[in-house]
Amino acid sequence: MSKMTRRSFTQSIALSLPAFAGLGRTAAAQTPQKVQIGLLVPLSGIYARPGTVMRMGAEMGIADVNAGGGIKSLGGAQLELVVLDCGDTTEKAKNAAQRMVAEYPNLVAASGSYLSSFTLAVTEVTERASLPLLTLSYSDLITERGFRHVFQTSATAGAQAEMALPTILRLAETASGRRPRTVAIITDNTAASIASTKAMKERLLAQHGLEMVVDETFTPPLADATPLVQRLRARRPDLFFFLPTVISDAKLMLEKMAEFNLRIPTISFGIAIAEPDVLNTVNPRLLNGVMSAVANWGTKGQEELIERLRRTHGEPWMTQNAISTYGDIWILQAALEKAGRADRQGVSEALRTLDGGPARYFPGGEIRFDEKGRRVGAGLTIIQWQNGVPVTVFPDNLALARPAWPTT
């Protein structure tokens, strides 16, 4: 056997390196890395229920992306959901965001945080960490701060008020034969509720010839609805805009209105008044006819997904929390495919330049974001309680039922 010199040994190793490198690339392609996506939602406290439903939507989205082959531009990399509880206060939400960016450095993006108040606090943290975050929260302030890594999939609260008010007035006039003249507004003091009524109070009511005869703001949870209902009974408005974010507050108001035999067409903004849990404590008769303007809801064309949510998680219908968070996962899938790399900067840049065509899991508009991070052309849905179920009644092309104006 010939003796191997140092030189021949070095040459032998050098010649073998390409083969070893090729084996490494093959192994990486066969077993792609996990790509971590964060979900920061309330899973404890008074907002745990909507946060849990957001988790359901995200898990369904993750499962569907992975079942479809994962991220193909990353060799079929599978998505992995990292879930954090943001609690029920802005301070808890901010602390959870700080834990998220500190303990999970491999996160490439996130979705959250339910209440606009929480999202405003959370995004102060995620922006500093350059972590792109998609949110269904409504407040206009979320995308008014010049942040580069925050993306709002819902129409802003102000935009929803602009769209909803004339639609509701047309519906009222068509159904009742007369145009409403007076309105009452009772809202909690959360950021989205305040933002939803701000444009109405400042100019929209006057533009549409409406007089505000009641204007009340409360801090949730509401202890006693009697003083608020007494104000309504004294003024008897044509329309009542009621904006709670806690189910117990909706229950108290509707029950007290029934106790006072006060029947006023009631319109909300957001999903608190249409959560499945409402039926656990509120008689469906009290809910019948109540409407709500919502950024997203289960609509025509999503029947299979709605049925899957019911079958898998026992949810009787698909609220905004489930469908929007499900849609967020698909937006992040598209961004990762476009970026071709699993890092925050790449995903954020891909989101800013994404042009995904018409929105499939959101009403109206496109999967594209403007310079502020708002989804271009984002619309809204109007839902109405009918026979114990809140169904989409607007827009017409997505409606699952025809609207019925509440009788006074």
DSSP string, 173-232: HHHHSS---EEEEEEESSHHHHHHHHHIIIIIHHHTT-EEEEEEEEPSSPS--HHHHHHH
Domain ranges of the chain: 34-155+301-377, 158-294+382-398
Q: Tell me if domain 34-155+301-377 and domain 158-294+382-398 are identical in fold.
A: yes
269 CB burial (10 A radius; 0-12, 13-18, 19+): buried
Listing DSSP states for 328-357 in one string gives HHHHHHHHHHHH-S-SHHHHHHHHHT----
**Residue 8, pLDDT score:** 47
Question: CATH second-level architecture of 158-294+382-398?
Answer: 3-Layer(aba) Sandwich (3.40)
pLDDT at 231: 97
Q: Which residues, including other chains, have CB under 8 Å from residue 11's CB and lie 6 or more apart? A: none
Q: CA 37 to CA 328: how far, in whole Å?
A: 11
Cα 166 from chain centroid (whole Å): 23
pLDDT tens profile 189-238: 988 788 888 889 999 999 999 999 999 999 999 999 999 999 999 999 99
Sign for the CA dihedral angle at 249, 252, 257, 260 comes to negative
Query: What architecture is the 34-155+301-377 domain classified under in CATH?
Result: 3-Layer(aba) Sandwich (3.40)
What global pTM score does this model have? 0.84
Query: d(Cα 273, Cα 107) in Å, to the nearest integer?
Result: 34
Quick one: pLDDT at residue 18?
41
State residue 408's pLDDT score: 54
Residues of the chain under the 70 pLDDT cut: 1-32, 406-408
